[in-house]
Amino acid sequence: MKNYLLAALLCLCTLAAFAQKEPIEKTWFNEEKTAKIEVYKAVDGKLYGKLVWMQDATDANGKPRTDSKNPNESLRNTPLMNYPILKGFTKGKTEGVYEGGTVYDPKTGKTYCGKLTLQAGGNELKLKGYICSFSMLGRTSVWTVAP
């Protein structure tokens, strides 16, 4: 009986550890404030970000905007709403830094390696997207917490 109780307690503690939210698990405005991205932890334990609001969510015909620039032609009709643009980020060695993931730019259809850094106070997230083999060639954007 003791072994079962101990196993149940260990299981609960493990689940509680996995259930803790990361400080970047919020909804963020992009730098231009034309989109909101929800950052969340997936079942694999990695962080992802999906588009949950866009200023121009529909095209001129009133239809949902699609991923028209995607290099994979079969995905070009996929709606951008709820589309994952951040994929596979994990905690870095430094507090507030998340790395190892990719950033997709639906405006160009290009995917970049990325690094996310939570700024002091937790209300700004610095996103650096760069060409994977050249981290010096990239662009940084600062996102702010969205209401």
- Does residue 144 have a pLDDT over 50? yes
Q: What is the pLDDT of residues 57-84, one digit of tens each?
A: 999 999 999 999 999 999 999 999 999 9
What per-residue confidence (pLDDT) applies to 50? 98
Q: How confident is the model at residue 134 (pLDDT cuts 50, 70, 90)?
A: confident
Tokens 């060639």 belong to which residue? 137
The DSSP output letter for 32 is T
Q: Which domains, ranges and CATH numbers included, belong to the chain?
A: 21-145 (2.40.128.520)
pLDDT of residue 111: 96
User: Could you tell me where the beta strands, DSSP code E, fall in 35-83?
Assistant: 35-41, 47-54
89-115 residue pLDDT tens = 999 999 999 999 999 999 999 999 999
Predicted TM-score (pTM) of this structure = 0.83
Cβ atoms < 10 Å from Cβ of 51: 22
